[in-house]
């Protein structure tokens, strides 16, 4: 893993460039639009800084590309060859994901049926604990982008990576937001 | 590998060629799993050769031909470089040697090399001779003189053989765990329990692409539960990393609690991002993050975060009043250039813009630096090499951090700076 400072540099660079592209097209935005643009550009910059190597970053880009209103923004933010490559990769991945989802749901169906038939319903402490863990894993999967399609091991790995990047993102954003210079500029 | 040696002897001594084949096969399988022991083996074999060449040793060896104790002693001594296997040796020797008449065995070992050496190092070619050589035990006395040399020869041949086999065998690497288990089983049949453990450990260290699982007492050993155990181990290992990463998570035991903490942390981070983007949107009315602002901000940030630089300057002999203006002086230039680069980057592809940002600013700020501070500094006699290096380092650090739009420029600029200095 790279050091956090280089990570932050890369993120900031990509973020600023994305924002530039955003603002160059649309000058007058409401505050919510602006917020959305900032958030999206920050997320995409984060994902682009990861260079599509992890599934969460691919999922971030895929999510941005899927929603129509965000897609324009995303394309604007992710300009250049690498973004095209990323988007292509992502579109491939989403197809794969769709297939996998179907398969998995079938599997789950099968398994659940078997359980109901073979095992009598007994409530053990271990089963309760398992259910608790499962519930939390489910929540975590919904939190990490693209987490629904990961198995547990990769989910934890991705969570590790995602947390590292989120931290960097938060640090950079806070630095800029709390910069006294910016405050002074805007108060003028 | 060392274990393969007595087996080699064994197989040479063996009465029936068919069993020898199986032994060789086994040996080959084992070699697959422990090439790392090869070093120890070859190191040991050198000593082996040395031992056998030593006249005193040879004399005693000849004198006590058929004396099991001496041979055992010699062999064990030769193995000593690999300490872990010492225990396994005598047993093996006993195994190999008590079965047969000792004299006969040794004579066979000594007599086979001439026949073994010529054929290509194929395992099959090597196994057949000994049986035939049993008859030639008559000429034992005449061979006594050359025994040492020949024994050495056998070792060398065996060595070469094993090398070739290794290269052959390496090609078919990547076998499943099951083969290892079977080979281990074979080992267990042959050697004592602790040596087999040694073997499996060595193979584990050597092959990191699979995971060696050992079932404890009472644990299930079918493949499903083994796989499940491996999976759980992996998960818990990763959870440990997460525990280190997530603050306040190291006191919590239990997976559910840990997951709770992780979820909370991720959620809080995501919320922070939301909040910060909202704040930025509110603060910036037109969403114009113009580069100059940002760089000014970054400069301030940098000054806040890295006071080491401003403290580092005075040690060189400059007043801090002088450094700050110098900084401020070259910063506008940098900003302008960076702006140009970024503007170009918007028109062209991002890559091009980047490259231009990298290439352009390196030249201009240096003129500023030259004019502002370096010209004043250069005459001073306090500039020895160390201080220069320090300055360069800190300057480099400062710039690469304060201008994050060009993270790749750091080294280039530093080299340029050095050239300037």
pLDDT by residue (tens digit) across B336-357? Answer: 333 333 333 333 333 333 333 3
Residue pair A158/A147 in contact by the 8 Å Cβ criterion? yes
pLDDT of residue B181: 43
Average pLDDT for residues B118-128, to the nearest whole number?
A: 41
Residue B229, pLDDT above cutoff 80: yes
Average pLDDT for residues B263-288, to the nearest whole number?
A: 80
Residue A142, pLDDT above cutoff 70: yes
Q: Which of A21, A156, A185 sits opposite B239 (nearest CB)?
A: A156
Residue B207 and residue B316: Cα distance in Å, rounded? 54
pLDDT of residue A183: 53
Measured between beta carbons, which residues in chain A are less than 8 angstroms from residue B259?
133, 136-137, 139-140
- Overall residue count recorded for chain A in this entry: 188
Residue pair B97/B105 in contact by the 8 Å Cβ criterion? yes
How many CB atoms neighbour CB B327 within 10 A?
24
Average pLDDT for residues A54-63, to the nearest whole number?
A: 80
Residue pair A49/A165 in contact by the 8 Å Cβ criterion? yes
Name the phi and psi angles at A2, rounded to 5.
-80, 165
pLDDT of residue A86: 56
What is chain B's mean pLDDT, rounded?
A: 49
Cβ pairs A/B, distance under 8 A: 161
Q: In Å, how far are B182, B365, B416 from B413, measured between CA atoms?
A: 61, 10, 5
Q: What DSSP element (H or E) covers B85?
A: none
Average pLDDT for residues B271-294, to the nearest whole number?
A: 70
Q: Which of B260, B277, B288 sits opposite A38 (nearest CB)?
A: B277
Q: How many angstroms away from the CA of B388 is the closest CA of chain A? A: 25
pLDDT of residue B255: 80
CA atoms within 13 A on the CB side of A133: 15
Instruction: For residue range B17-69, list pLDDT tens digits in order.
Output: 444 444 445 555 555 554 444 443 444 344 443 334 444 443 444 434 444 44
pLDDT of residue B121: 43
Instruction: For residue range B392-403, list pLDDT tens digits in order.
Output: 444 444 444 444
pLDDT of residue B392: 44
Residue B56 and residue B360: Cα distance in Å, rounded? 78
Residue pair B23/B7 in contact by the 8 Å Cβ criterion? yes
B316 burial (CB, 10 Å; 0-12 / 13-18 / 19+) is: middle
Average pLDDT for residues A122-147, to the nearest whole number?
A: 84
Instruction: For residue range B292-302, list pLDDT tens digits in order.
Output: 455 555 555 55
Share of chain B above pLDDT 90, in %: 0
**Alpha-carbon dihedral of residues B9, B11, B16, B20, nearest 10 degrees?**
180
Tokens of A6: 């280089």
Residue pair B230/B213 in contact by the 8 Å Cβ criterion? yes
Residue B219 and residue B189: Cα distance in Å, rounded? 23
Measured between beta carbons, which residues in chain B are less than 8 angstroms from residue A23?
286-289
pLDDT of residue A36: 78
Residue A65, pLDDT above cutoff 50: yes
pLDDT of residue B88: 42
Minimum CA–CA partner of A41 in chain B? B277
Residue A62, pLDDT above cutoff 50: yes
Q: How many angstroms away from the CA of B297 is the closest CA of chain A? A: 6
How many CB atoms neighbour CB B90 within 10 A?
15
What proportions of chain A, in percent to the nearest 5, are helix, strand and coil?
A: 85, 0, 15
Q: How many angstroms away from the CA of B242 is the closest CA of chain A? A: 6
Which residues make Cβ contacts (< 8 Å) with residue B44, sequence separation at least 6?
B2, B78, B79, B80, B81, B82
- Band (pLDDT 50/70/90 cuts) for residue B175 is very low
Which of B43 and A93 is assigned the larger pLDDT? A93
Residue A125, pLDDT above cutoff 70: yes
Interface contact B101, partner A, CB < 8 A: no
Average pLDDT for residues B364-391, to the nearest whole number?
A: 38
Average pLDDT for residues A132-146, to the nearest whole number?
A: 87
Measured between beta carbons, which residues in chain B are less than 8 angstroms from residue A180?
300
Residue A162, pLDDT above cutoff 60: yes
CB spacing of A152 vs B231 below 8 angstroms = yes
Interface contact B64, partner A, CB < 8 A: no
For B138-152, give the DSSP string: GGHHHHTTTHHHHHH
Tokens of B144: 């006594």
Q: How many angstroms away from the CA of B173 is the closest CA of chain A? A: 27
Residue B334, pLDDT above cutoff 50: no
Q: Whose CA is closest to B269, among A37, A163, A40?
A: A163
Residue pair A144/B244 in contact by the 8 Å Cβ criterion? no
Q: Whose CA is closest to B395, among B351, B330, B347, B301?
A: B330
Least confident of A83-92, B190-199, B272-281: B190-199
How many CB atoms neighbour CB B359 within 10 A?
14
pLDDT of residue A103: 53
Residue whose entry in the numeric block shows the structure tokens 């682009």: A48
CA atoms within 13 A on the CB side of A188: 6
What is chain A's mean pLDDT, rounded?
A: 71
Residue B119 and residue B123: Cα distance in Å, rounded? 10
Share of chain B above pLDDT 70, in %: 16
Q: Which of B246, B273, B294 sits opposite A173 (nearest CB)?
A: B273
Interface contact A31, partner B, CB < 8 A: yes
Residue B43 and residue B40: Cα distance in Å, rounded? 5
CB spacing of B273 vs A42 below 8 angstroms = yes
CB spacing of B235 vs A152 below 8 angstroms = yes
CA atoms within 13 A on the CB side of B9: 26
Interface contact A10, partner B, CB < 8 A: yes
Which residues make Cβ contacts (< 8 Å) with residue B281, sequence separation at least 6?
A31, A32, A34, A35, A37, A38, B287
């Amino acid at each position: 893993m790279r050091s956090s400072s280089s990570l932050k540099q890369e993120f900031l660079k990509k973020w600023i460039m994305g924002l530039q592209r955003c603002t160059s097209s649309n000058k007058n935005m409401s505050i919510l639009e602006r917020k959305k643009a900032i958030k999206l550009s920050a997320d995409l910059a984060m994902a682009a800084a990861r260079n599509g190597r992890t599934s969460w970053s691919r999922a971030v880009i895929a999510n941005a590309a899927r929603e129509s209103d965000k897609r324009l923004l995303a394309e604007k933010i992710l300009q250049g060859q690498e973004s095209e490559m990323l988007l292509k990769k992502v579109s491939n991945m989403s197809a794969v994901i769709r297939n996998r989802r179907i398969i998995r749901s079938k599997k789950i169906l099968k398994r659940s049926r078997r359980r109901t038939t073979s095992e009598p319903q007994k409530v053990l402490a271990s089963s309760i604990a398992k259910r608790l863990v499962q519930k939390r894993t489910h929540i975590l999967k919904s939190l990490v982008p693209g987490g629904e399609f990961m198995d547990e091991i990769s989910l934890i790995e991705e969570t590790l990576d995602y947390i590292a990047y989120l931290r960097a993102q938060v640090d950079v954003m806070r630095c800029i937001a709390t910069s006294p210079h910016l405050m002074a500029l805007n108060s003028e | 590998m060392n274990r393969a040696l007595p087996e080699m002897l064994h197989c040479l001594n063996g009465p029936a060629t068919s069993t020898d084949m199986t032994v060789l096969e086994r040996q080959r399988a084992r070699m697959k799993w422990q090439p790392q022991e090869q070093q120890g083996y070859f190191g040991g074999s050198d000593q082996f050769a040395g031992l056998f060449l030593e006249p005193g040793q040879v004399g005693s060896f000849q004198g006590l031909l058929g004396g099991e104790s001496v041979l055992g002693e010699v062999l064990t001594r030769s193995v000593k470089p690999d300490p872990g296997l010492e225990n396994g040796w005598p047993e093996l020797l006993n195994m190999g040697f008590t079965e047969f008449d000792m004299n006969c065995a040794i004579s066979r070992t000594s007599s086979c090399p001439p026949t073994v050496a010529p054929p290509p190092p194929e395992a099959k070619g090597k196994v057949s001779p000994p049986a035939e050589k049993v008859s030639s035990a008559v000429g034992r006395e005449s061979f006594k003189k050359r025994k040492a040399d020949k024994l050495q020869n056998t070792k060398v041949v065996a060595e070469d053989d094993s090398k070739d086999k290794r290269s052959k065998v390496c090609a078919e690497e990547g076998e499943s765990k099951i083969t290892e288990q079977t080979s281990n089983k074979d080992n267990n049949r042959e050697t004592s329990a602790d040596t087999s453990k040694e073997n499996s450990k060595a193979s584990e260290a050597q092959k990191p692409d699979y995971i060696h699982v050992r079932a404890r007492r009472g644990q299930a050993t079918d493949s499903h539960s083994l796989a499940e155990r491996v999976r759980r181990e992996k998960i818990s290992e990763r959870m440990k990393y997460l525990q280190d990463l997530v603050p306040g998570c190291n006191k919590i035991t239990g997976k559910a609690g840990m997951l709770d903490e992780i979820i909370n942390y991720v959620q809080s981070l995501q919320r922070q991002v939301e909040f910060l983007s909202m704040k930025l949107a509110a603060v910036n009315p037109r969403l114009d993050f113009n580069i100059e602002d940002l760089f000014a901000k970054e400069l301030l940030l940098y000054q806040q975060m890295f006071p080491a630089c401003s403290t580092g300057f005075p040690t060189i002999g400059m007043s801090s009043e002088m450094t700050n203006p110098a900084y401020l002086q070259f910063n506008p230039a940098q900003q302008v250039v960076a702006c140009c680069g970024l503007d170009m980057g918007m028109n062209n592809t991002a890559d091009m813009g980047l490259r231009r940002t990298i290439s352009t600013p390196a030249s201009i700020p240096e003129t500023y630096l030259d004019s502002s501070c370096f010209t004043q500094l250069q005459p001073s006699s306090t500039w020895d090499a160390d201080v220069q290096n320090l300055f360069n380092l800190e300057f480099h650090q400062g710039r690469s951090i304060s201008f994050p739009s060009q993270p790749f420029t750091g080294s280039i600029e530093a080299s340029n700076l050095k050239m300037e200095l």
